[in-house]
Amino acid sequence: MREAAANLEADHRRNVVAYSRGDEYFRAGRFRDAIAFFREAFDADPQDSMCLLAIGNCWSELRKFKRAEASFRQALSLATELEVPALTFNLGNALYDQGRYSEAVTAYSQVPRGHAIWQASSRNIQLAQQHLAHGS
């Protein structure tokens, strides 16, 4: 029992340290390095959807939007109810950046009205609908 608790504590520390390091690299614009640390953090806690969100954000910065989409979708499969709005917003951005405007609208539409990112989501819905209206 104590050994299991010690292993959990060690994994938690490894998750926090690796995530923090990834965040430092992300802020420095070193996105590939950040991905390596966010992956290490996720390896330490495979239920931490925020690691996958961070990896998706790195892929978006690297303009690898399909990879970002895959990370956001995987994160959504693990997300808590509170995490879902930010994840669906970022998923919408990855879809938008791929020119998949109808799917982006669907993702953006899942952000609850009144949520902190609802206005940004609504604005992006309008932009995506403009693309759809113009056939682009």
Residue 2: what pLDDT?
64
Taking CA atoms, 45 is separated from 77, 93, 132, in Å, by 15, 26, 40
Q: Domain span at residue 31? A: 2-133
Tokens of 68: 């970002």
Residue 10: what pLDDT?
83
d(CA 3, CA 87): 35
d(CA 55, CA 74): 11
Reduce the DSSP state of residue 111 to 3 states and report it: coil
Residue 4: what pLDDT?
60
Return left, alpha or beta for 114; rule: phi > 0 is left, psi -120 to 50 is alpha, else beta.
left
31 within 8 A of 58, measured Cβ to Cβ: yes
Taking CA atoms, 50 is separated from 1, 73, 107, in Å, by 28, 12, 18
pLDDT in tens, 85-105: 999 999 999 999 999 999 999
Residues 6+ apart with CB under 8 A from 67: 56, 59
Instruction: Specify the number of domains making up the chain.
Output: 1
CATH of the domain at 59: 1.25.40.10
Residue 52: what pLDDT?
98
**Residues of the chain with confidence (pLDDT) below 70:** 1-7, 136
Report the chain's terminal Cα–Cα distance, integer Å.
Answer: 59
Closest CA to 16 of 52, 61, 48: 48
